[in-house]
Structure 1
Amino acid sequence: SQQVDRFARGLDGFFAGEESLNEMNKSYVRLRIGGRWIESGSYEDESDIKFRLHLPATKERYKLIIENNTEEDENLDEKNRPSFIGTQESGRDSVSAAIQRVQQRGRYWKTSSRLGIKGGAPLDPFVRFTAKRRWSAAQEWNVPYNFRLSYFHSDGYKAISRLSFERSLDNALFFKAKTNVAWTQERDTLETAQTFSIFQHLKYNRGIDYKIGILGESLSHHVINAYFISAHYRQLAYQDWLYINIIPELNYPRELDYESIASISIRLEVIFKH
């Protein structure tokens, strides 16, 4: 299972999704340039920039973290659909500064707590608690779990959990089934996302993530908001910091009676880590 865990972490790091960046204990800057073409003929510019500064850049228990667009700013669409970036805050309203403490609890659980302030007028104080661990099942399966509870003065409590089942299929294929459940006090609604992925390793510098997903929410009863099918091709184009992303997708939203919408996203991505 340690081999499965290393394979999973390597894939998450290569595809550099939001969850991978959020869990990375490093400073980084990521610039994405490009957008999405939709079959109706419209184009959506999805260029954005995201940064995080960890001080000190060592394994100290306490860290100062300065970043823009915190984890709580991302909905489940953004966390699970590689073609969808969504609307990002800009300027000082998106920047936060926090003190983080990380603890190892026993052999398996790792927790972190964060106390900080998000920019804007007025300032928005917040607190966040995160717990995560991994299980092994029958040697072939790796089962990571992550839970986060946060409170923002502006819009109350937010909670999200993520449970995955992962295993290698062979030297070039990797399977992941992931379940997300999120709740916000402001909306008082449960959001859900279920995805099934197969990662195909093509060469040392390129791969494809084939994904099927179901997005829903629950208020008085559970409804499916969308189904989607996507293939995320990602290639390291230069050294270790320039990537090419091509993502064709079929989306079946509830507001269109689940009729398909085809799109293709093309983005250049520059990412520097320290």
Structure 2
Amino acid sequence: MLCCAVVLLYVPPVLARSLDADTPPPSFITRSLLSAEETRDEWSESWVDFAEGVDRYFSKEDAPPDYKNESYVKLQFKQTWEERGEIQTDVRVKAKFDLPNTQRKMKLFFSSDEASENSLEERVRSNSTGERFNRKESVSGIEISPDSEWHKWKRSARVGVKLRAPLVGFGRYRLRRPFEKWGEWTPEFLQEVWYFSDRGWGETSEFELTRPLGERMGLRYWTVLEYEDQYDFFQNVHVYSLTQGLSDRTAMEYRAGLVFSNEFQAQLTAYFVGTSYTYKLYEEWVFVTASPEVFFPKADGWNAEASFTIKLDVYFSH
């Protein structure tokens, strides 16, 4: 009887291979994605653990048991093809520390992509890359954000340095006011006053209006007025955009913008139109965006400058 049991349990190798033939091995692409996901999870876990360690070091406390740390690193690869035949490439890294315990006293911050370092035109256009984008240094410092509001205004103040040699100090004070809905519209106003030791001082005023149009569409109007003392003139932009969710993985944005300046006299200096198609390439951490755009600068006689930009965003987070 024992021999019969052994015979029944033994499966010849040839027969085993034939039984597995119905389940084909994973493809090269599948294996590559699984390997990339494992690497991404390891890097994400290391970054969050590092942020929690910094938080614990400064506060001497552990994060609340039910708290989900929102630290992340974003890698962005961008390439733009211009009508004149130029190809511009840009790589950026943006990092965020989420330090829940230190926020009760003061918040430490680190950013490797300080958006306010760029001109208004660069900040609102999708193809601000290569020669159009001046690479800036990372910044780090302390932010104080009181929990209490001041006449419905949320406040924050930053003091820090740009990480370069020699170090450049800066400070920024921000007031933000989300208003009650105006019917279907949701408005928000933001006011900043800032100072950089290598640039002098300046101010930025922003106003935004958003409105949903059904379940998958939204309308947005955004305007910014900015003054920088070293240039002694105002810049102003108006951007109108319509977003449309095509599916759970894809979305479209249609936008148009106007750029004004009073460097010589108040006048329109440029306008642009463009679209962006965003596709969730893999789960919630790899996104690809295609953005054709046409820019019309007054300095070039309003001649059209067409461009096409591909952007890949990779997120490392929990």
Q: Work out which of the residue numbers 211, 215, 221 in structure 2 matches 1:171.
A: 215
For normalisation by structure 2, the TM-score amounts to 0.72
Aligned to 1:194: 238
Q: Work out which of the residue numbers 164, 171, 175 in structure 2 matches 1:131.
A: 175
Larger relative contact order (CA 8 Å, sep ≥ 6): 1
CA displacement at 1:106 relative to structure 2: 4.3
Q: Work out which of the residue numbers 257, 260, 263 in structure 2 matches 1:219.
A: 263
Quick one: distance in 2 between partners of 1:110 and 1:96?
A: 23
Aligned to 1:97: 140
Contact map agreement 2:122 2:133 (CA 8 A) in 1: no
1:269 and 2:304 aligned: no
Contact map agreement 2:217 2:245 (CA 8 A) in 1: yes
Provide the secondary structure at the position in 1 that maps to 2:145: strand
Aligned to 2:55: none
Root mean square deviation of aligned Cα: 2.1
Task: State the AA in 1 paired with 2:138.
Answer: V
Residues 28 and 222 (structure 1 numbering): CA distance in 2 closer, same or farther, change over 3 Å? farther
Aligned to 1:13: none
Provide the secondary structure at the position in 1 that maps to 2:122: helix
Structure 1: any 5+ residue segments left out of the alignment? 1-24
Quick one: distance in 2 between partners of 1:88 and 1:55?
A: 30
Contact map agreement 1:48 1:88 (CA 8 A) in 2: no
CA displacement at 1:56 relative to structure 2: 4.7
Contact map agreement 2:78 2:312 (CA 8 A) in 1: yes
1:32 and 2:76 aligned: yes
CA displacement at 1:47 relative to structure 2: 2.6
Aligned to 1:239: 283
Q: Work out which of the residue numbers 82, 87, 94 in structure 1 matches 2:133.
A: 87
Contact map agreement 2:228 2:234 (CA 8 A) in 1: yes
CA displacement at 1:107 relative to structure 2: 6.6
Structure 2: any 5+ residue segments left out of the alignment? 1-68
- CA deviations 1:143-181 (Å, max 9, x no partner) are 011111111111110211110121112212111111111
CA displacement at 1:95 relative to structure 2: 2.1
CA displacement at 1:84 relative to structure 2: 2.0
Task: State the AA in 2 paired with 1:192.
Answer: N
- CA deviations 1:184-235 (Å, max 9, x no partner) are 1111121111011111111122211110001121124112221100101111
Question: Of the two, which has the highest radius of gyration?
Answer: 2
Contact map agreement 1:117 1:126 (CA 8 A) in 2: yes
Task: State the AA in 1 paired with 2:156.
Answer: S
Q: Work out which of the residue numbers 54, 63, 70 in structure 1 matches 2:114.
A: 70
Query: Sequence identity, in percent?
Result: 25
CA displacement at 1:88 relative to structure 2: 4.0
Provide the secondary structure at the position in 1 that maps to 2:121: helix
After TM superposition, the structure 1 stretch with the greater mean CA deviation from structure 2, 64-73 or 199-208, is 64-73
Residues 190 and 26 (structure 1 numbering): CA distance in 2 closer, same or farther, change over 3 Å? farther
Quick one: distance in 2 between partners of 1:33 and 1:55?
A: 27
Quick one: distance in 1 between partners of 2:169 and 2:180?
A: 38
Residues 58 and 171 (structure 1 numbering): CA distance in 2 closer, same or farther, change over 3 Å? farther
Q: Which has the higher strand share?
A: 1
Q: Which has the higher helix share?
A: 2
Residues 118 and 178 (structure 1 numbering): CA distance in 2 closer, same or farther, change over 3 Å? same
- CA deviations 1:89-122 (Å, max 9, x no partner) are 36xxx12221111123147311100111222222
Contact map agreement 1:242 1:270 (CA 8 A) in 2: yes
Task: State the AA in 1 paired with 2:143.
Answer: Q
Provide the secondary structure at the position in 2 that maps to 1:221: coil
